[in-house]
Amino acid sequence: MLKNKSLLSSAVLVAGLSACSSNAVEPVPAILPADSSEARAEIIDIVSNALGGKKVPIAQDVFQESSRLLLGPKPVTATNGVTVYDSNPAPVLVFELIKRGDNCLIRRLDTMETWPLTTQLCVKREVIK
């Protein structure tokens, strides 16, 4: 009797684990369609909150050409027009738009935090080889 219960428990465990693994979808880099103004407003809010409320300028076409958003310090320009570079540049922060199943998410690469977008319009970014 104990052997049958053990066998049954093992079968249930295996079935449960295989069901979980079949539902797991790997995230893939994604982009947004050209008319994504609502998504852009949401992206601005997510990035601002991720940076502790700091407002940062984000392009109108964010995530339309690339799945990544890079944020770095603004370069300093001398009075003669020459760009001055810091000898110890601040690290660039990278946010990535990903698609997991039907969901569009923004992921901050240095912390791997993710935030869902309400839009589901993102599409898998095709990689050119």
Question: Tokens for 3?
Answer: 């052997």
- Asked if residues 42 and 121 have their Cβ atoms less than 8 Å apart, the reply is no
Q: For 111, phi and psi rounded to 5 degrees?
A: -110, -10
CA dist., res. 30 & res. 2, Å (int): 51
Nearest to 122 by CA among 27, 5, 26: 27
Compute CA distances 34 → 39, 51, 63, 122, whole Å. 11, 26, 9, 10
Question: Tokens for 2?
Answer: 């104990």
**Residue the block writes with tokens 């603004």:** 74
User: Partners of 91 in the beta sheet?
Assistant: none
Residue 102: which residues within 8 A CB-CB, separation 6 or more?
Answer: 120
* Tens place of pLDDT per residue across the chain (129 aa): 545 555 445 444 444 444 454 457 899 999 999 888 889 999 999 999 999 999 988 999 999 999 999 998 777 788 888 887 777 777 889 999 999 999 999 999 999 999 999 988 899 988 666
pTM score, whole prediction? 0.71
Q: For 21, phi and psi rounded to 5 degrees?
A: -70, -30
